[in-house]
Amino acid sequence: MSNVPAAARQEAATPIVIVGHVDHGKSTLIGRLLHDTDNLPEGRVAQIVESSKKRGLKVEWSFLLDSLQIERDQGVTVDSTRIPFHLGDRQFVIVDAPGHRQFLRNMITGAADAEAAVLVVDAAEGAQEQTRRHAMLLRLIGIRHVIVLMNKVDLLEYDQARVAETERAVAALLKQLEIEVSLFVPASAREGDNIASRSPHMGWYQGPTLTEALALVPAPSGRADLPLRLPVQDVYRFDSKRVVVGRIERGRVKVGDSLVIGTHGTVARVASIESWHTAPQISAVAGQSVAITLEPDVIPDRGDLLHQPGEAPVRAARIRSRLFWLRQEPLRVGESFRLRLGTAEHQVTVASIDSVVRLDDLTEHAADHVPPEGFAEITLAASESILFDPFAPGTTDGRGVLVDRHQRIVGGAPLIGPAAIASGTKAIHPTGSTVSLWDRAQARGHRGGVFWMTGLPGAGKSTIARAAESRLFAQGIDVSVLDGDTLRAGLCADLGFSEEDRTENVRRAATVARILAETGQVVLVALISPRAADRDLARRIVGDDFQEIFVDADQAVCEARDPKGLYAAARAGRISGFTGIDAPYEAPANPDLRLATGQDSVQDVAGRLASHITGAVVLGDQSRQRS
């Protein structure tokens, strides 16, 4: 127990993340560590013993962590968790990160702020896929102190030679990642060897036990001596005073300092540091959340970086960045995101994927996409100059997250530095809206979306689309129709009916539809689009808001209708490559909606389509009230 008197000043806890391949013994290690260092509350041990007994097991230390029912039943830890822990007077927070592959996002959630890591490796099995993946992540998030715990040495009968063999292989792997290992500790978490007490079975090992090694981890070092970085979080107007608030990420600020404000470069003086229920403040340091007033009373924006004159960060609109990718679909060049960097938000487009890490051997290779849970280096093109500091371990800025149109975090991006515009690359910097899809949906009462209507010529696509458009418009929905003939008269006038041209036609239609849907419109696309591959392309371009509608009519019916006389012309050989006659139509296997147009009236079918669409896009009452 700590003997520190209540009022004593304490250092902040040091976060330590425990990572490693599934079944290499992370949870067991944590349970053992807490028990052997007297950090368990009363009742917890009895609870574990009882839980273990219920399941017919001997004492399972990992049950301490797997405290959620679902985990115990499946035997995997599903989410990271934080456990306060002390060694003597020193406070730590243990972050437990899951080894299960698809839970990388939970692992990063726990590990991102750790000061040190314990990488648990089964001494018999050596490094496995997740060992490499986690090591890669430790490198990307810049963890400076890595202790490798060579676990389960009891299963090797404490044999020095066999432990050393695995250790050499792991050391080589980590060296490749430029990770400097502080220490290798041979141990058995299950038996308690070299965890909190020295093992009686390994006379050959003279180094520190795990707890001794943890005690040697330096406390988080100060960022206070670096040049000032104060990102504006918000601006309040209380009474007659305008107050600028934010957290100091680096350096210190004093009343009277001159500060440069963001990219516009206005200079103002710090007139006061405001606070409530503290002694009057005249200075503040990195880590503090402050409130300041400025003289003259300029109004910065959220995201503006305040710094001292002559100590400006890097400024660039093309940035090279490392990336860990969290989305389940691969990342491709040309995709756009919001880059959230501290309190700032910028529109960025992936200009190039410069290399992707191959996880089998951790080498870097050229690739055209970043796979789910992959690691890469990419170049981002922003729509405006960004002020930033390249990420360095031990700092809290210079690392951003990529956010998709649905406000989901899809990647972590520690920034490397400005990127040169290489000759031959397209120096495009698409601009993006600051109005989110959700903002738009709330204002209109409905979401945007693309309803892609495919079917044979004469199936009734355009007719139904126009009838549904009228109905939806009457219900207050912002709706438009893109139909094949209209597109081919203008935007796609240069295209014919070859396979390549049809694909290009689909690509253009989908791109326009996406742009409209992003402004919040409901877009009905009426296009034969006979090939399933082309429709898949459209789905990829549009993304989540895409629905495939199959306008289904027998070819005989379509040919009998022949509203434009095209079947007749094709039969007569006057046009060639006509879908259904001498070009194939691949009907959708699993459309989101199938509309049979053989028997019902146009109005009935259009009504079905319109109610399907309103069901998909219209918001409920609760959300509308908020707008």
Partner 1 sequence: MDDLDQLEAQSIYILREAYRNLKPLAMLWSLGKDSNVMLWLARKAFLGRVPFPVMHVDTGKKFPEMYRFRDEYVRKWGLDLLLGDCPPVEEIDPTLPPAARSAARKTAGLATMIEKYSLEGVIAGIRRDEQATRAKERVFSPRGSSHKWDVRNQPPEFWDQYATPHEEGVHIRVHPLLSWREIDIWRYIEREGIPLVDLYFSKNGLRYRSLGDQDITSPIESNASTVAEVIAELQTTRTSERAGRAMDHESEDAFERLRVAGYL
Q: Does residue 599 touch partner 1 according to CB under 8 A? A: no
Considering beta carbons, is residue 5 or 296 the nearer one to partner 1?
5
Separation of alpha carbons 57 and 513, rounded Å: 58
Quick one: which of 549, 573, 553 has its CA closest to 563?
A: 553
The answer on whether 275 is annotated among ligand-binding residues is no
Considering beta carbons, is residue 93 or 163 the nearer one to partner 1?
93
Binding residues among 68-97 for partner 1 as defined by CB under 8 A: 68-70, 78-84, 91, 93
Binding-site member from 175, 406, 564, 574 for partner 1 (CB under 8 A): 406
Binding-site member from 52, 109, 266, 425 for partner 1 (CB under 8 A): 109
Considering beta carbons, is residue 137 or 551 the nearer one to partner 1?
137
Q: Does residue 9 touch partner 1 according to CB under 8 A? A: yes
Please, are residues 472 and 613 in contact by the beta-carbon 8 Å criterion? yes
* Residue 6 to residues 3, 108, 130, 400, 482, Cα–Cα distance (Å): 9, 34, 42, 38, 71
Considering beta carbons, is residue 272 or 503 the nearer one to partner 1?
272
Binding-site member from 52, 160, 182, 288 for partner 1 (CB under 8 A): 288
Q: Does residue 438 touch partner 1 according to CB under 8 A? A: yes
Minimum distance from residue 467 beta carbon to partner 1 (Å)? 27
Site track 19-58 with partner 1 (rule: CB under 8 A), x = hit: ----------------------xxxx------x-------
Q: Which of 62, 188, 321, 529 is catalytic?
A: 529
Quick one: which of 137, 161, 166 has its CA closest to 151?
A: 166
Separation of alpha carbons 306 and 292, rounded Å: 11
* Residue 337 to residues 105, 233, 410, 432, 473, Cα–Cα distance (Å): 18, 21, 9, 9, 31
Stretch that binds partner 1, among 4-12, 24-32, 264-272, 351-359 (CB under 8 A): 4-12
Binding-site member from 197, 258, 289, 328 for partner 1 (CB under 8 A): 289
The answer on whether 123 is annotated among ligand-binding residues is no
Q: Does residue 247 touch partner 1 according to CB under 8 A? A: yes
Binding-site member from 236, 301, 422, 560 for partner 1 (CB under 8 A): 236
Considering beta carbons, is residue 412 or 530 the nearer one to partner 1?
412
The answer on whether 595 is annotated among ligand-binding residues is no
User: Helix H segments across 44-103?
Assistant: 44-54, 69-74
Considering beta carbons, is residue 274 or 559 the nearer one to partner 1?
274
Dihedrals phi, psi of 169, to nearest 5 degrees: -65, -45
Question: Three-state SS string across 170-227, please?
Answer: HHHHHHHCCCCEEEEEECECCCCECCCECCCCCCCCCCCCHHHHHHCCCCCCCCCCCC
Considering beta carbons, is residue 2 or 498 the nearer one to partner 1?
2
Q: Cβ neighbours of residue 488 under 8 Å, at least 6 residues apart?
A: 495, 505
Separation of alpha carbons 69 and 98, rounded Å: 16
Quick one: which of 144, 132, 139, 137 has its CA closest to 173?
A: 132
Minimum distance from residue 79 beta carbon to partner 1 (Å)? 5
Minimum distance from residue 241 beta carbon to partner 1 (Å)? 9
Element containing residue 467 per DSSP (H, E)? helix 461-474
Considering beta carbons, is residue 160 or 283 the nearer one to partner 1?
283
Stretch that binds partner 1, among 235-243, 264-272, 467-475, 493-501 (CB under 8 A): 235-243
The answer on whether 456 is annotated among ligand-binding residues is yes
The answer on whether 461 is annotated among ligand-binding residues is yes
Contacts for 585-590: CB closer than 8 Å, 24+ residues apart: 585/456, 585/528, 585/530, 586/530, 586/531, 586/532, 587/550, 587/552, 588/454, 588/532, 588/535, 588/548, 588/550, 589/532
Quick one: which of 147, 209, 215 has its CA closest to 180?
A: 147
Binding-site member from 49, 124, 183, 285 for partner 1 (CB under 8 A): 285
Q: How many CA atoms lie within 13 A of 613 on its CB side?
A: 37
Binding-site member from 250, 399, 461, 535 for partner 1 (CB under 8 A): 399
The answer on whether 321 is annotated among ligand-binding residues is no
Separation of alpha carbons 108 and 485, rounded Å: 49
The answer on whether 563 is annotated among ligand-binding residues is no
Minimum distance from residue 437 beta carbon to partner 1 (Å)? 8
Please, are residues 111 and 117 in contact by the beta-carbon 8 Å criterion? yes
Binding-site member from 113, 257, 377, 501 for partner 1 (CB under 8 A): 113
The answer on whether 457 is annotated among ligand-binding residues is yes
**Strand 241-247 to 289-295 pairing:** antiparallel
Site track 294-313 with partner 1 (rule: CB under 8 A), x = hit: --------x-----------
Q: Cβ neighbours of residue 204 under 8 Å, at least 6 residues apart?
A: 160
Please, are residues 80 and 109 in contact by the beta-carbon 8 Å criterion? yes
Q: Does residue 433 touch partner 1 according to CB under 8 A? A: no
Please, are residues 287 and 371 in contact by the beta-carbon 8 Å criterion? no
Binding residues among 115-144 for partner 1 as defined by CB under 8 A: none
80 in catalytic set: no
Binding-site member from 396, 480, 486, 555 for partner 1 (CB under 8 A): 396
Q: Which residues are identified as catalytic?
A: 529
Q: Cite the annotated binding site for ATP by residue number.
A: 455-462
Q: Cite the annotated binding site by residue number.
A: 455-462
